Structure 1
Amino acid sequence: MKHFHSRMMAGAALAVMLASAPAVFAATPNDQLVIGTSLAQVLSLDPQQGTEVKTQEILANTYDRLISFDSKTNELQGQLAESWDVDDTGITFHLRDAQFASGNPVTANDVVFSLVRLFKLDQSAAAGLKTFGYNAETAESLITAVDEKTVRIDLTDDVVPEALLYRLSGGVGSVVDSVEVMKHVVNNDYGNEWLRTNTAGSGPFVLRRWSPNDIVMLEANPNFWGEPSTLKRVLFRHVPESQAARLMLERGDIDIANALTAADVRYFDGKEGFVIDQVKTGGFYALAMNAGHEPLDNPLVRQAIAYGIDYQGIGDAILGPYGRPRNVPVPEDWEGAIPNPDWSLQPEKARALLAEAGYPNGFSLTIKTIAQAPRVDMATAIQANLAEIGITARVIQGNGSDIVAAHRARDFDLLIPQTSAADPTALGALDNFTNNPDNSVEANNAGNFVWRSDWDIPELNTLRQEANRERDPATRLEMARQLQEDFIAASPAVFPMFERFEPIVVNARVEGYSGHPWSLTRVDAVTKTDAN
């Protein structure tokens, strides 16, 4: 079964490194890769804290995990783990000989330190594994070093081995240099303040410079355990304006652009010297409705909004290569996905639902969104759609830190987040939409999308937990189908609108670049040909 589609991409041209580059441009050197992107959401480079999409690509190249997920083969592969054994009660990992960038050896103690640190920090990054019963209280007894090169992770009653392996292959499974990190611990912060702006990994590159909303510069790690990269330097340049990024890509200032508008992506369709890769993330562009605010606490109002959005029109005019309409939180071509409900644009039905809910004259609210393509245009289109059914919506744009903070603090009416699948299965895709074990304010579960929307779903959460612990694959898949049906019937407050793709435009000089569905794209195997 094919969960993700990711083509091997060829191609790119290189360019100037810094934002203050002179007016004369030349192709970037063959030993450098320059990626034009948006760094607005890169808030922390601590791998046990930073979860944003663009952060993940930086972390994927500076850290290793025990295992990685190869989206081209749909298989898990060893990274720091040369092999692993699965038994009825746990998973045992056998480590390869590797060094951190500092020269310190990678040991089982580093793996244990990293994973326990994830739960001790208790940031949103830990949410995906906490749902399986791992937390600050249990981690030290469940995650242990058998010897210097062997790590044992015991299973809880809430997880099957396959799901645990997929979660460990994500960015939160990154292994940090415990010896180096412990040198920088201040006030029992587990080294977080230092790791926010530094790296301590064993990946193919090391961080040399990070200027927020400007540039991230990585340089080759001479102590990397794998094959040496032909790239000496990788630069992520903050290019939030799509037209500027398009021009820079055309004239060779950047090799790759991954934050273009749909129109600018289409500009390169069929253009000689460029390749478009449309990576299927398994995630969604969603509409978060704050069920703790009136009138969004009313299921009829949420249904009205669902019937008041022109998904097909927005998909055609705005998303294009960024996605396709889908209102069930499992991609339509994944095993176990159910058909889409009839939540098409139906203004008359939407107005009738508002009247039934007690709002015949509508009401006013706000839509918050990160100022980034394609979400700003989506917010504007939704604003216009809602006006047709009597809802006045004001769009509030902000940077990543502002909007993410508002989302985590439940400080919004409507908000447009994006999700990724926790793993390439129906249950993995459902996790962001059906996981909320404790909706109380005291739980402060800000890493949980459903909690952020103040949507209390004890029945859905219970079914999700039962499905996660079910060992029979066929039964687990049937439970995933039932979870989708129950989700639709619940008038969701975390509402999937579009299956999310990640279009990446690459210059044909770049060879071996393949976008990863979770943005964990490693570039150490990338090579570049001479410019024409």
Structure 2
Amino acid sequence: MRFAIPLLALLVGFPAVFSTTSRAAAPDDVLVMAKRIDDVISLDPAEVFEFTGAEVIANIYDRLVTFDVNDVSRLEGGAAASWDISADGRTYRFTMRPGMRFSSGNPVTARDAAWSLQRVIRLGLSPAFILAQFGLTPANVEARVRAEDAMTLVIETDRAYASTFLLYCLTAGVGSVIDRELVLAHEKDGDLGHQWLKQASAGSGPFSLTRWRANEYVILESDPGYWRGAPAMRRVILQHIAEPATQRLMLEKGDIDVARDLSPDQVGGLAELSDMRILHSPKGTLMYLGLNQKNPILAHPKVRKAFKHLVDYRGIGDHILRDRARVHQTIIPKGLFGALAETPYRFNLEHARKLLQEAGYEGGFAITMDASHGSLITEVAQALQSDFASAGIELEIIPGDEKQVLTKYRARNHDIFIGEWGVDYQDPHSNADAYASNPDNSDDARFRTLAWRNAWAIPRLSELTASAILTRDQGQRAALYEEIQRRVLVASPFVVMFQSVDLIVERSYVSGLVWGPGFDSNFYRDAVKHPHSGNR
């Protein structure tokens, strides 16, 4: 706690010295949130693929298309005011919203939008597959994604896809429109400004990045000329506080306005306080185990199935996660069309032991699990360690910060990974493609899905998954996704356990924050702090 107040004082311009008992409430136009932000690797929209980074850039950039956070089936215009689709389903023509400007003052044009999408493909970083699945490559992207004039963007796909599929993909971070002139002014060695944009911003959204310091804070400044109206908050600060207990203490003392990572136990004591508001925001984020198929033990089908019976879903849900998650065992989260609510697995030690015996591991085995420390995931991992031990499985938990754990996972160097995965866009293919597609299982594969990370070679299932996005009838698409989910449920190296619910505690004088259905649909623009509240 002693380190946090001087840092906060420095960031919001307070005098640098406080007594340890003084309150350090931020000014009425500065919003301070405590959150774990150690997953941030980059803030370049062409690279961001982590929860916190995605949330941050969603408040910096306008995307071409967006959706109603209360009804994800309703698509809405973002930087593109409108669009039409050709009769053959392969050409999309977007009309840009007039009068928009970047934070630099440069106008937002179709040329910026085309270059932003081209840049994603040319850089070829983690989220590039979202656009590459439409047949876009570095060789053809300039021809297929182009500006007809300053206000008209054209995208040509290689095939006719489900009518809304491309539109939903453009609601993802890769659909962010970037200030081409500003970014190219910082280009080095042909990197399209990537190194600069990792720690800078060039958007037209309600905020711009002032500073990001890894594992410490992100500071955003408002744009008074934002086209939807100037935010009430002049500044928003995400302060990295890894320990939930410290977040609660800072919240109670008034040092922060919002706590993002409190456990159910910590929230319980705040429920009776009139100056706190407890919010539950269901998310399309799944907690799961990934069993690396490079490990010959985990590659045995009966071992995989045994793990699905060695999770005490109800016990972990009731006693650890409680109102922060609900049991969910299929790969498409509740809230998206085609999602299955089937939960066939229960903790069944006898059956798990039988499966292990049939696989030749009656005496059990030793295995490791990578888990990010300082979070509820750690508590879940410890509960699993106990559950697995009952079947003779000696589990060693390897803790690390989020960045370390993810880097190791993405290199396929884990045994078991425990973590969360959220949808990149509000279409079931986002998760179907991640869990049930791996067209190239080689170490140097271009597309590195979750199935790839866990070395699950599934050529036939990959073909079925690919076919779902070419099916234009919504009912037929839903049926295909149901079949895909059932196949993954039975045979995959994934043990999907829970769908998350964000537990947020705001001081009662805060209002207007939007907590949407995805990790990148939490918005700060309408946040307000009421200076005359009696609870301050």
Q: TM-score, normalised by structure 2?
A: 0.92
Tell me whether 1:44 sits opposite 2:42 in the alignment: yes
- Rounded to whole Å, the distance in 1 between the matches of 2:124 and 2:268 is 41
Name 1:527's counterpart in structure 2. 528
Q: Which amino acid aligns with 2:152?
A: T
Which of the residues 200, 206, 209 maps onto 1:207? 209
Bigger drift between 223-232 and 472-481 goes to 223-232
CA RMSD of aligned residues (A): 1.9
Aligned length: 516
Alpha carbons of structure 1 residues 26 and 283: separation in structure 2 relative to 1, 3 Å: closer
Task: Tell me how far 1:341 sits from its aligned partner.
Answer: 4.3
Name 2:91's counterpart in structure 1. 90
- Rounded to whole Å, the distance in 2 between the matches of 1:265 and 1:155 is 48
Matching of residues 4-19 of structure 1 within 5 Å:
16-18=8-10
Which of the residues 299, 303, 306 maps onto 1:304? 306
Matching of residues 254-403 of structure 1 within 5 Å:
254-332=256-334, 334-403=336-405
Alpha carbons of structure 1 residues 136 and 280: separation in structure 2 relative to 1, 3 Å: farther
Bigger drift between 392-401 and 369-378 goes to 369-378
Name 1:8's counterpart in structure 2. none
Task: Tell me how far 1:176 sits from its aligned partner.
Answer: 1.1
Does the 8 A contact of 1:290 with 1:413 survive in 2? yes
Tell me whether 1:469 sits opposite 2:467 in the alignment: no
Gaps in structure 2 of 5+ consecutive residues = 1-6
Task: Tell me how far 1:511 sits from its aligned partner.
Answer: 1.5
Indicate the SS of the match to 2:71.
Answer: coil
Task: Tell me how far 1:330 sits from its aligned partner.
Answer: 2.2
Task: Tell me how far 1:522 sits from its aligned partner.
Answer: 2.2
Name 1:4's counterpart in structure 2. none
Identity within the alignment, %: 34
Name 2:510's counterpart in structure 1. 510
Indicate the SS of the match to 1:365.
Answer: strand
- Rounded to whole Å, the distance in 1 between the matches of 2:260 and 2:194 is 29
Q: Which amino acid aligns with 2:43?
A: L
- Rounded to whole Å, the distance in 2 between the matches of 1:426 and 1:125 is 17
Higher relative contact order (CA closer than 8 Å, sequence separation 6+): 1
Matching of residues 97-496 of structure 1 within 5 Å:
97-157=99-159, 159-332=161-334, 334-446=336-448, 448-490=449-491, 492-496=492-496
- Rounded to whole Å, the distance in 2 between the matches of 1:371 and 1:481 is 34
Q: Which amino acid aligns with 1:224?
A: Y
Q: Which amino acid aligns with 1:383?
A: Q
Does the 8 A contact of 1:279 with 1:503 survive in 2? yes
Does the 8 A contact of 1:290 with 1:414 survive in 2? yes
Task: Tell me how far 1:267 sits from its aligned partner.
Answer: 3.2
Name 2:61's counterpart in structure 1. 63
Task: Tell me how far 1:503 sits from its aligned partner.
Answer: 1.7
Does the 8 A contact of 1:419 with 1:432 survive in 2? no
Task: Tell me how far 1:269 sits from its aligned partner.
Answer: 3.3
- Rounded to whole Å, the distance in 1 between the matches of 2:163 and 2:136 is 14
- Rounded to whole Å, the distance in 2 between the matches of 1:167 and 1:362 is 44
Q: Which amino acid aligns with 2:393?
A: I
The superposition leaves residues 92-140 of structure 1 with CA deviations (integer Å, 9 ceiling, x where unpaired) of 1111221111111111111111111111111111233333433333422
- Rounded to whole Å, the distance in 2 between the matches of 1:194 and 1:333 is 37
The superposition leaves residues 308-358 of structure 1 with CA deviations (integer Å, 9 ceiling, x where unpaired) of 111111111111222111111123565433342421100111111111111
Tell me whether 1:33 sits opposite 2:31 in the alignment: yes
- Rounded to whole Å, the distance in 2 between the matches of 1:169 and 1:344 is 36
Bigger drift between 128-137 and 341-350 goes to 128-137
Indicate the SS of the match to 1:56.
Answer: helix
- Rounded to whole Å, the distance in 2 between the matches of 1:486 and 1:137 is 36
- Rounded to whole Å, the distance in 1 between the matches of 2:499 and 2:313 is 11
